[in-house]
Amino acid sequence: MTKAKSFEKALEKLEELVKSLEEPALPLEKALKLFEEGLKEVRFLEKQLQEGEAKVEKLIQSKQELKTESFS
């Protein structure tokens, strides 16, 4: 069974990739591979953020539909 990747793990991986890309003696071929891996992580993170934002919006909308009425 494969374990789903978490947002935190993906962010950590992206930070590692960025740090590796900042090395001055990094060969071009290696840099391109790391950049490609980084883009995959960014796309995953963007998707997770969009899904989270949609959930928050849904919760806010459902909360706004709940209204309390006074019995007096």
Question: In this predicted structure, what is the pLDDT of residue 47?
Answer: 96
Global pTM reads 0.76
pLDDT in tens, 10-41: 999 999 999 999 999 999 999 999 999 999 99
Give the amino acid at 64: Q
Distance CA 32, CA 36 (A): 6
- Domain ranges in the chain are 13-19+27-63
Phi first, then psi, for residue 70 (nearest 5°) are: -80, 140
Q: What gap in Å lies between CA 34 and CA 52, rounded to an integer?
A: 27
Binned at pLDDT 50, 70 and 90, residue 70 comes out as low
Q: What is the pLDDT of residue 3?
A: 58
Distance CA 8, CA 2 (A): 17
pLDDT the model gives residue 1: 47
Task: Specify whether the CB–CB gap between 41 and 14 falls below 8 A.
Answer: yes
